[in-house]
Structure 1
Amino acid sequence: MKKEDEIIRQSLLATQEYDERLSAFATKNSDYIKIHPTHTKPYDFDVRWPYEKDIDRILYSKAYRRYVDKTQALSFFNNVHITKRSLHVQWVSRIARQIGRCLNLNTDLIEAIALGHDLGHAPYGHVGEKAINECLKERGVGYFAHNANSVRVLLYVERKGEGYNVSLQVLDGILCHNGEMINRIYKPDPFKTIDQFWKEYEACWHTPHASEHISPMTLEGCVVRISDVISYIGKDIDDAINVGLMKRSDLPSDITRVIGDGNNSMINHLVEDLVIHSYNKPYLEFSKETFEALNRLYDFISIHIHHNPVLVKENEKLFRMVKELYDVFYEDLDDPLLKDRGIQKYLSNMNEEYHQTPKELIVSDYLSGMTDTYLLEYYKKVFLPTMRENIT
């Protein structure tokens, strides 16, 4: 037996042993399902476990690199310590893997979902998402939700339209991660099929609020979904305090008494409570007291941070800016003078199959892929005059 064959054999044995040690409710490596089974390419030598391959596909995608210049909640503050989306996904991954390890779940699957869950987020976060959604609605072609767009980016946009053949379990976890909904109990939908996944994916594009009514097929997907909340809820408070939107003393005492008043204490309490009440169960569960405090905290930050008058005023400007650029790109696609620039240059680099994409989605792909800084600079170039000394 060649040395390479022996290494592969040992890796397969290690995978099997790992599966045997996992919880009865965990997703096994042997459960791995390719979303496009016929597209699988054999490799001569690859010791990575199944979900490790998906981790690498996500880590080396172009969309992952753009996380670094996409802000989380406070988009327009000039402060280097404000949370960027690149940090957010790392924190989600860290929290989720910690929970997964305690519950004896598949941490590779958890990491892949966590790192990829926001790949399709628009510039300027949920403000950009709402603006693109409005543009698609106005043109009668559907709706825009970053979770469904994250799946789209991986399958249809990356690698010049060829996409990555990521597993069903990872894509489903990304599609169902919805961190804008807080529940006391998170139950997976373990009998979900590929056909059901595709129906849910299409529903997110064509049915309002469809993302609110779908559940991950795996317990690992449920872990990422709640870890998304745990990651941002305390950090948004820290960021808001850091820029002067609020003081820590503003936090209601009936909330801080239960889950603490800082990011560290909140993460520790929420993770511990979840692990204790979910251990050896086929679902995740918070205690009643912790859930009620978390729910009140979510309402508090929604009012005092996300809908703070200062943010609302500035976010209205960002909303208009994204919408105006969508209109510009939509017109630019048909302008013969712009063949080698902007969105037409983007399109020329995509494969032939991608060229069959509806015009509205091409613009959505291009715009949602922009970073905050790039979009702002592009907006200035299009809408603001260029100062010159002379014409000649």
Structure 2
Amino acid sequence: MSSLTRTHPTGPVADAFEARVREIEEATLAPQATRSYPALRERQEETCGLRTPFQRDRDRIVHSKAFRRLKHKTQVFVAPEGDHYRTRLTHTLEVTQVSRTVARALGLNEDLTEAIGLGHDLGHPPFGHIGEDVIDRCVKQRFGRRFRHHEHSLRIVERLERDGAGLNLTEQVRDGIAGHSGRAPMPATPEGRIVRLLDRVAYINHDIDDAVRAGVLAEADLPREPIAVLGATGPKRIDALVHDVVEQSARAGDIAQGEEAGAAMAALRSFMFERVYLGPAARAEHGKIELVLRSLFDHYTAHPEQLPSLLPEHDDDLAARVTDYLAGMTDRYCIRQFQSLAVPNAFDP
């Protein structure tokens, strides 16, 4: 048992919980799976008699303000009129679901996989990847820095949530969140590497579904060769890719894709960048999004006294304060803030 003393109420179940989980994991998890104990946190805490450390991390993420804001952040289509388009929240749930499927099939730690999946996109700014690109260019031009959503996800859980106290997540969850992007170093755990790969599996296929629903693509537009390899529908493609990852990973002893499936997925991803992510419809919105975000960035950089205090003590770093505020906005809040600056208020005599 942990050397830390529990101060909350205990009982027979709670007292035996950690020992029982350790026993179950040794009997059922694969040798390379991450064990739930001991909890590796920056600040040591008392143990919980009903949840593993990774389950506690999951709960902290789900109850965070940043997680709730994901429901009003763009996945691909900005402020869509239809109710069935993905948001950053539904994307997060889909990534988590397929990642857990892979983790369970491979005998890896589902709780760790789930926590990483739920937290991986907390740092996404408004307006999806277009918003990320605009903020990155603004910060680079003004302060000589870069903005990357995966790095900001880590900043949120370490520094911004709970009024500056952070969520005090385990080392493995923080590593998986920071490493989920292809621009980041590979996560240290196989569970983190699952989320990194399945994030791409999920978004490529559900973004195709949304693009067809929006009329940006027709089914006939999809490239024939990768569709022939993976399947004609989104569910079939995801099923094929998940099965491929499981079988290839089991053989390789690490998270891996087969050559044929990996090439087909890469071809679909390239197609989506050309036709959807950077296509005519996206470019039509890019200028509007840039106007909104750059106007807000320039305004708050010039008037830092109007920035809210996101931390208990004002961070003297203006770049961080402006970026924290803009990246935390939902799409609709960002638009409202822009309108409050750019549109005259009606005068009622």
Q: Which residue of 2 aligns with 1:29?
A: 36
Give the Cα separation in 2 of the matches to 1:161 and 1:145: 20
How far off its partner does 1:155 sit? 0.8
Q: Counterpart of 2:286 in structure 1: which amino acid?
A: N
The share of aligned pairs that are identical, in percent, is 33
8 A Cα contact 1:25 1:281, kept in partner:
no
Pairing of 1:118-133 with structure 2 (within 5 A): 118-133=121-136
Q: Which residue of 2 aligns with 1:266?
A: 237
Q: TM-score, normalised by structure 2?
A: 0.93
How far off its partner does 1:58 sit? 0.4
Q: Residue 313 in 1 paired to residue 317 in 2?
A: no
* 2:88 aligns with one of 62, 65, 85: 85
Q: Residue 170 in 1 paired to residue 173 in 2?
A: yes
Give the Cα separation in 2 of the matches to 1:140 and 1:326: 12
User: Unaligned stretches of 5+ in structure 1?
Assistant: 182-210
How far off its partner does 1:19 sit? 2.0
Q: Which residue of 2 aligns with 1:190?
A: none
Q: Residue 381 in 1 paired to residue 340 in 2?
A: yes
8 A Cα contact 2:315 2:321, kept in partner:
no
The Cα offsets for residues 24-53 of structure 1, whole Å up to 9 and x where unpaired, read as: 11111125421x1xx22336x642111001
Give the Cα separation in 2 of the matches to 1:64 and 1:232: 18
* 1:283 aligns with one of 254, 257, 260: 254
Cα 1:89/1:357, change in 2 over 3 Å: farther
How far off its partner does 1:77 sit? 3.3
Pairing of 1:309-388 with structure 2 (within 5 A): 309-334=280-305, 338=306, 343=307, 346-347=308-309, 350-352=311-313, 355-388=314-347
Q: Which residue of 1 aligns with 2:118?
A: 115
Runs of 4+ residues over 3 Å off in structure 1: none
8 A Cα contact 1:259 1:293, kept in partner:
yes
Q: Residue 42 in 1 paired to residue 49 in 2?
A: no
Give the Cα separation in 2 of the matches to 1:331 and 1:163: 28
Q: Which residue of 2 aligns with 1:143?
A: 146
8 A Cα contact 1:67 1:119, kept in partner:
yes
SS of 2:240's partner is helix
8 A Cα contact 1:102 1:275, kept in partner:
yes
8 A Cα contact 2:13 2:49, kept in partner:
no
How far off its partner does 1:307 sit? 1.4
Q: TM-score, normalised by structure 1?
A: 0.83
Cα 1:363/1:283, change in 2 over 3 Å: same
Give the Cα separation in 2 of the matches to 1:166 and 1:13: 21
How far off its partner does 1:357 sit? 4.5
The Cα offsets for residues 348-388 of structure 1, whole Å up to 9 and x where unpaired, read as: x6313xx2341110111111101001101111111112233
Q: Which residue of 1 aligns with 2:60?
A: 57
* 1:225 aligns with one of 184, 192, 196: 196
Q: Residue 18 in 1 paired to residue 31 in 2?
A: no
How far off its partner does 1:78 sit? 2.1
Cα 1:357/1:65, change in 2 over 3 Å: farther
8 A Cα contact 2:204 2:269, kept in partner:
yes
Structure 1 window deviating more from structure 2 (59-68 vs 257-266): it is 257-266
Give the Cα separation in 2 of the matches to 1:325 and 1:371: 13
Give the Cα separation in 2 of the matches to 1:146 and 1:18: 36
Q: Residue 241 in 1 paired to residue 212 in 2?
A: yes
Q: Residue 301 in 1 paired to residue 262 in 2?
A: no
8 A Cα contact 2:10 2:49, kept in partner:
no
8 A Cα contact 1:235 1:263, kept in partner:
yes
How far off its partner does 1:81 sit? 1.4
Pairing of 1:144-223 with structure 2 (within 5 A): 144-178=147-181, 181=182, 211-212=183-184, 214-223=185-194
8 A Cα contact 2:96 2:117, kept in partner:
yes
Q: Which residue of 2 aligns with 1:204?
A: none
Q: Which residue of 2 aligns with 1:6?
A: 12
Give the Cα separation in 2 of the matches to 1:12 and 1:218: 21
The Cα offsets for residues 167-203 of structure 1, whole Å up to 9 and x where unpaired, read as: 111011011101xx4xxxxxxxxxxxxxxxxxxxxxx
SS of 2:85's partner is coil
User: Unaligned stretches of 5+ in structure 2?
Assistant: 1-8
8 A Cα contact 2:29 2:109, kept in partner:
yes
Give the Cα separation in 1 of the matches to 2:231 and 2:290: 34
